[in-house]
Structure formats: structure tokens, C-alpha cells
Homo-oligomer: A and B are copies of this chain.
Amino acid sequence: MNRKELIAEIKKKKSCLCVGLDTDLEKIPGHLLEEEDPLFAFNKEIIDATAPFCVAYKPNIAFYEAYGLQGWKSLEKTMAYLRQYYPNHFSIADAKRGDIGNTSTRYAKAFFNKLGFHSITVAPYMGEDSVKPFLAFKNKWSIVLGLTSNSGARDFQFAPVGMEQTPLYETVLRKTSSWGNTENLMFVIGATKAEHLRKVRAVIPEHFLLVPGVGTQGGSVEEVMTHGAIPGEIGLLINASRSILYASSDKHFAKTAASEAARLSQQMVKFFL
């Protein structure tokens, strides 16, 4: 999916909501545990219910790896289902992968080719030759960690760099931008505060941002879109996971998840007028 197509989907739905498929056997409704593949059964119902309100799905790969072989099968089935029935939804492998050149290429093949994801999150610490292999894949996106929403972001991402004591994350944004373009590179910006979003947009006005931290983590859709949107293009994917997936744990869980997704996407509508 290219940038034009993604923006068209966002505008059509008046939503830039991304649903994080962080599927946890200990949290899904109990009745699903009798299914042959509870993870997939849950994902399928969530996807069917929330698809009208979101433009993207983001499975966090750790949640599937934790279940070994069976988890990987569930992930494969989830991706096959998305590709077949919801091909216009943007898929993100939240894997935060990164390694030296040839090894990064293998990660890229695993997620872009084998699993058919549109995009993958990438960790930047190892620099250019660890990120560029992902960027070499046509019509695929790399979403590089810029500023993350967890408390540990303070440890290194704000390290004051150089004569001007610029926070490290700005260096990461600037340097990484030069390795790709606005058609194959996005950034994870776990910032929901106005001042941070403005600073980020000053460095990267045109790149798409994947913004976690809305929903359970407490950020506001309003603030993110006011200070983070690209005029005319939005250029945001705003993620919520737990607040949607686990909105309820009874037999009607999917409907309740849909309501929560609808509620969040409703807050986005006014930005499309």
C-alpha cells in the first residue's frame, strides 16, 4: 500500500485509528479458550467488528512469539485473514526488529514476504546499515522508533547530543529521514503532548507518524491530531490496543470493542471537515 492509497483510506473513513492486536490468552473472553485456535478466533471477531472504524491493524509480535509455534500459526492465520478480507487495511508488524545488514534483510523477508505485512517497526540503535535493508523492499514501509511512550524513553532518547545539546531522538529522526523518504519511512512517536508533537513536526513535517499511547495509556486523540496532523493529509496512525480489545470479556466482546473503536474514531471526524 503506498502513501496515496493510505491517505485515501484515511479520508474515506474519516479515521486514522489503528487497532493493536496485542492478543493475550489470559485476557480474552473465557469461552474462546474452547476454540481450536483461541488467538485467531479472538482476532477474527475483533477485526470483523472494528474494521469499519479503523484503517490499520498492528499485531505486537511478542504476544505471538510468547506462544511459540502455535502463536506463530495464529499470527499467520490472522495475516492471511486480513490479506484476504481486508486488503485495504494497513498492517503493521510491531516487531521493533533491527540487526546488521543481511540479518535485517531476513527479518524484512519474514514479515514483508512470508507474512505479507505492509510495514514493520524497526529499532534504530545499530544505525544506517541496520535500517536500510528494510527500506529496500518496494511498496513496504519501515516505521522507525523515534520517541517512545514508555518511561524509559527518558534514559537515552533525551540524551543531549552535540554542541547544541539536542535530544537524541531528534538526531534519530533527522539522520533516519535521510536514509529513506516519505513514501517508505514512518516514525513511532509515542508523544501525545502538544509540545513534543510540535517539536517532532518541526523536524519531520511530512512523514507519517505511528502514535501509540491513546486509550489505556491516556493520551488524547484531540491533542494528537491538533498538533501532529499534516494539513490535508493527516499523516497519522493513532493506535489503541487494550482499551478496544478488552473493553469487555463477555460473549458480546466484539460488539463492545467496536463501540470503543467507533468512539475513538468519532473524535477524529472533525479533523476531516
Contacts and interface: CB of A to CB of B under 8 A. Distances in A.
Interface in A101-155: 101, 103-104, 106-107, 109-110, 114-115, 123-131, 145, 148-155
Contact-residue size bin, chain A (C-beta under 8 Å from the other chain): 35 or more
A159 B157 contact: no
Contacts of A125: 123-125, 145, 148, 156-157
A107 B67 CA distance: 10
A32 interface: no
Contacts of A129: 150-152
Contacts of A153: 126-127
By CB atoms of chain B within 10 A, which of A76, A99, A115, A160 has the most?
A99
Contacts of A69: 69, 72-73, 76
A115 B69 CA distance: 10
A145 B98 CA distance: 11
Contact of A156 (B65, B99, B168): B168
9 tightest A-B CB contacts, nearest first: A127-B152, A127-B155, A66-B106, A62-B106, A65-B110, A129-B152, A128-B152, A100-B150, A68-B114
Nearest to A146: B125
Contact of A152 (B65, B126, B148): B126
A76 B68 contact: yes
A175 interface: yes
A141 B197 CA distance: 37
Contact of A131 (B126, B131, B152): B152
Interface in A63-115: 63, 65-69, 71-73, 76, 94, 96-101, 103-104, 106-107, 109-110, 114-115
